[in-house]
Structure formats: structure tokens, C-alpha cells
């Protein structure tokens, strides 16, 4: 897809104030329409390109914006505050671009990296299958060697941005282990089937992607054969971090809407905000918001420091932020009463539906609980290297 060909990345300011202003100007007022129409218009994708946000996580030497991870988290939080569907698209694209940068060979990078960095081409992440979700190791898609190429077969489901993407990062079984491949959307044998009417993130243009004997050159494999789980771990870690930050954005949007509404809505002769039980819900929203944001910043700092403890910090951040976003969105609907149950002038029903999705994607809450508890048992107090879960050195 052709988007904003001339992008002056050097001109973009990369701080929270700039991200907030971008979201307020381009996204927030239109997100309910995107949700209703179940699509993101071209102009908003082009606006992201003009601001250098598609390549935010890539270094400037690769044509990206060179943001550190804490700054990237702030960007994804702000986009998530405006529109979770757009943030979802940005998440999967960022995962594809970063995976190519980290694991791709020279030829693959030459072919696609600059295109992804500028948003001239969009990426989507293809792991889940109709019968395989949480247990990624069990994927059934296959890649079999055929001379200098692979032939890739399988079906990928629930692919965010699948209707728009030019490049799919596909995980397929190569012998015993999964491996990662970049597959062009217009390659012979690729068929994209739109998925619509989702509960939340309705504008994220999901698709089911069918792959039948798709010929993929060996240089389009990312990472070694047999190293697919490692590639996947890093890609999902970045995705999880982005989703966690997006959940903080949902919480901020819920809080802003609730403070505004309860300040104006009068019942029993006074604004709702004067009621103690209302103030209790608001105070809990504020507290969860601050805690989730701090967990995300901590995970981002550990990423910037190259500390492997970031993996667990990100699990914790995503688990807390997604479950907190759900509670906060539920409280926001509660505070809006019937007005929160409609798709009218208030966006809280969208926040509520979007928040539910966040408890399922990038590792469901149950999978996160299992991983976090496993880690706790492996690092008992007193064992070598133990301190606290999120600060522990591996």
C-alpha cells in the first residue's frame, strides 16, 4: 500500500506531548466512527506514516525513528487512549518490523525494512490457527524445503490488519520446530478472508489467511530453522509490551470520560462527583492507572537496558494492565449508567469491548497467571539471584 512517500522523520518530535497532540488531532474524535464502520481509513494510516510512527521501534540507520522502549510505550499508550484498533495495527506492524530487523538476513532487510519503517508497506503477525491458540508450539502450518525455497501451507486465524497488510510474518512448522517466514500478501497461493463483527477492536481489519503451497525464498526465513520459538518469544514480548501500554491508554480514556461525565451529570440535586461512592470508583481508577503505567515503564526500562528480566516484567505489566483496563472500563460504563450502554455520544462502551479483547490477546490472562506463578516458584526467596519478580536479574 502506498503511503506518504516523502517522510521527514527528522522533523518529528518524539515525546508524550507530541503523541498526545497527534491522538487528539487525528484519532480520538473519529475512533467511534472507525469502530462502527469496522475499518481504518487511509488518511489515518498516512498520518501515522508522516509522523514516523510505523517505524518507531527501528533505529534511524534502518530508516526508523529510533525511539527507546520507554518512549515507544508512551506512543502506544497514547494511540491506545484514542483507538485500540489503530494501536493493534501499530502493534503487529511493529512486531513484524522489529523481528525483521533483529532476525532477518541482509537480503530480506534490503527488500522490506525501509518499506516497513516508513509504513509504505504494512506488516501483520500470523501465529494463531483455527485449532491452535494459546499453545503456540502446537501449530500445524508447515514449511517444507523445495530447492532454494520453502513451500508454506496452513491457515492463520484472527490476524490483526490482515485485510490491509502487504507482508505477513508467518510461523510454520519446519520439521519438529516452528520457524518464521516473511510472506508477501500477493504471493500466489495466499488468500485473505476478512473477519468482521468482533466484540472489540472492531476496526482492526482482521482476516483469516489461507496459505496453499506458497513459495517462499529461503532468505525470507527469519532466524535459523529450529530457532522459531526464540524469534516468537521476542516478537510476542514486544507485542505484549505494546498491548500493556495500550491498556494504560484505555484506562486513561476511561478516567477522563468518567471525571468529565460525573462532573456534569446531576442526580438528587447535585453532580455525581459529589457522591462518595462515585469518588471511590474514580480513586480506584486513578490508582490502577498509575500502577499499570509504572509497570509498563519498568518493563520498558529493562528492555532499554538489555536486561532479560524484561520478559517477566512485561508478562506482569500486561497481566495487570489488561485486567485493570477491564475493571476500569466496567466502572466507567457503570458511572455513565444507561448512557454508557449505547454507542452514542460517549465512547465508554467501546472502551469496555476493547478492554475485554486485551485479556485474550498476546497471551490470555490464564496463560499469564501460569507463567508468572511458574517464575515465582522458580525464584523462591533465598534462592541465588532472587529479589523481586519484576526486578530480578536472570
Ligand X SMILES: Cc1cc2nc3c(=O)[nH]c(=O)nc-3n(C[C@H](O)[C@H](O)[C@H](O)COP(=O)(O)OP(=O)(O)OC[C@H]3O[C@@H](n4cnc5c(N)ncnc54)[C@H](O)[C@@H]3O)c2cc1C
Which residues are at the interface with ligand X (CB under 6 A)? 92, 125-128, 133-134, 158-160, 198, 201, 206, 357, 360-361, 364, 366-367, 370
Cβ atoms within 10 Å, residue 107: 12
The span from the CA of 133 to the CA of 110, in Å, is 32
**Run of H or E including 331:** helix 310-336
- When the beta carbons of 117 and 165 are compared against ligand X, the nearer one is 165
Residue with nearest beta carbon to ligand X:
133
- When the beta carbons of 50 and 362 are compared against ligand X, the nearer one is 362
- When the beta carbons of 209 and 281 are compared against ligand X, the nearer one is 209
Largest interatomic CA distance in the chain: 79
- When the beta carbons of 8 and 197 are compared against ligand X, the nearer one is 197
Please, are residues 171 and 140 in contact by the beta-carbon 8 Å criterion?
Answer: no
Nine cell digits for residue 341: 450502554
Pairing, β 207-217 against β 190-194:
antiparallel
- When the beta carbons of 155 and 262 are compared against ligand X, the nearer one is 155
CB of 282 to ligand X, least distance (A): 29
- When the beta carbons of 205 and 302 are compared against ligand X, the nearer one is 205
The span from the CA of 246 to the CA of 252, in Å, is 10
**In this structure, what DSSP letter does residue 204 have?**
S
- When the beta carbons of 346 and 353 are compared against ligand X, the nearer one is 353
CB of 102 to ligand X, least distance (A): 18
Which residues participate in catalysis according to the annotation?
362
The span from the CA of 319 to the CA of 317, in Å, is 6
Nine cell digits for residue 49: 506514516
Beta bridge partners of 190: 211
Please, are residues 140 and 173 in contact by the beta-carbon 8 Å criterion?
Answer: yes
CB of 129 to ligand X, least distance (A): 8
Measure the N-to-C terminal CA separation of the chain; round to a whole number of Å.
42
Contacts 24+ apart (CB under 8 A), 184-187: 187/214, 187/215, 187/216
* 228 burial type by CB count under 10 A (0-12 exposed, 13-18 middle, 19+ buried): buried
CB of 130 to ligand X, least distance (A): 8
Helix, strand or coil, per DSSP, at residue 208:
strand
Nine cell digits for residue 121: 508497506
Please, are residues 315 and 336 in contact by the beta-carbon 8 Å criterion?
Answer: no
The span from the CA of 236 to the CA of 207, in Å, is 19
Amino acid at each position: 500500500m502506498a503511503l506518504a512517500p516523502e517522510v521527514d522523520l527528522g522533523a518529528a518530535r518524539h515525546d508524550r506531548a507530541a503523541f498526545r497532540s497527534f491522538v487528539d488531532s487525528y484519532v480520538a474524535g473519529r475512533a467511534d466512527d472507525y469502530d462502527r464502520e469496522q475499518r481504518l481509513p487511509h488518511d489515518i494510516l498516512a498520518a501515522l506514516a508522516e509522523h514516523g510512527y510505523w517505524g518507531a521501534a527501528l533505529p534511524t540507520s534502518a530508516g526508523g525513528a529510533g525511539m527507546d522502549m520507554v518512549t515507544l510505550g508512551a506512543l502506544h499508550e497514547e494511540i491506545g487512549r484514542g483507538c485500540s484498533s489503530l494501536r493493534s495495527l501499530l502493534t503487529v506492524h511493529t512486531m513484524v518490523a522489529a523481528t525483521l530487523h533483529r532476525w532477518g538476513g541482509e537480503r530480506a532487510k534490503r527488500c522490506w525494512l525501509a518499506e516497513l519503517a516508513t509504513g509504505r508497506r504494512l506488516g501483520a503477525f500470523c501465529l494463531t490457527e483455527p485449532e491452535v491458540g494459546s499453545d503456540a508450539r502446537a501449530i500445524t502450518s508447515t514449511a517444507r524445503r523445495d530447492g532454494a525455497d520453502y513451500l508454506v501451507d496452513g491457515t492463520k486465524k484472527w490476524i490483526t490488519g490482515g485485510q490491509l497488510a502487504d507482508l505477513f510474518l508467518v510461523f510454520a512448522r519446519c520439521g519438529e520446530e516452528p520457524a518464521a517466514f516473511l510472506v508477501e500478501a500477493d504471493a500466489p497461493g495466499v488468500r485473505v478472508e476478512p473477519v468482521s463483527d468482533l466484540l472489540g477492536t472492531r476496526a482492526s481489519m482482521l482476516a483469516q489467511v489461507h496459505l496453499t503451497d506458497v513459495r517462499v525464498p529461503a532468505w525470507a526465513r527469519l532466524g535459523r530453522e529450529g530457532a522459531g520459538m526464540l524469534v516468537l518469544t521476542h516478537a510476542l514480548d514486544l507485542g505484549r509490551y505494546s498491548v500493556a501500554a495500550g491498556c494504560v491508554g484505555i484506562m486513561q480514556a476511561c478516567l477522563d470520560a468518567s471525571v468529565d461525565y460525573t462532573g456534569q451529570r446531576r442526580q438528587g440535586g447535585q453532580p455525581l462527583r459529589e457522591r462518595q461512592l462515585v469518588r471511590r470508583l474514580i480513586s480506584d481508577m486513578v490508582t490502577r492507572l498509575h500502577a499499570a503505567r509504572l509497570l509498563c515503564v519498568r518493563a520498558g526500562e529493562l528492555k532499554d537496558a538489555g536486561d532479560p528480566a524484561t520478559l517477566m516484567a512485561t508478562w506482569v505489566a500486561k497481566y495487570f494492565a489488561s485486567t485493570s483496563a477491564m475493571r476500569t472500563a466496567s466502572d466507567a460504563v457503570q458511572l455513565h449508567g444507561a448512557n454508557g450502554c449505547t454507542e452514542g455520544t460517549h465512547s465508554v462502551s467501546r472502551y469496555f469491548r476493547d478492554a475485554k479483547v486485551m485479556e485474550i490477546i498476546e497471551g490470555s490472562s490464564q496463560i499469564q497467571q501460569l507463567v508468572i506463578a511458574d517464575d515465582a516458584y522458580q525464584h523462591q526467596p533465598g534462592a541465588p539471584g532472587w529479589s523481586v519478580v519484576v526486578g530480578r536479574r536472570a
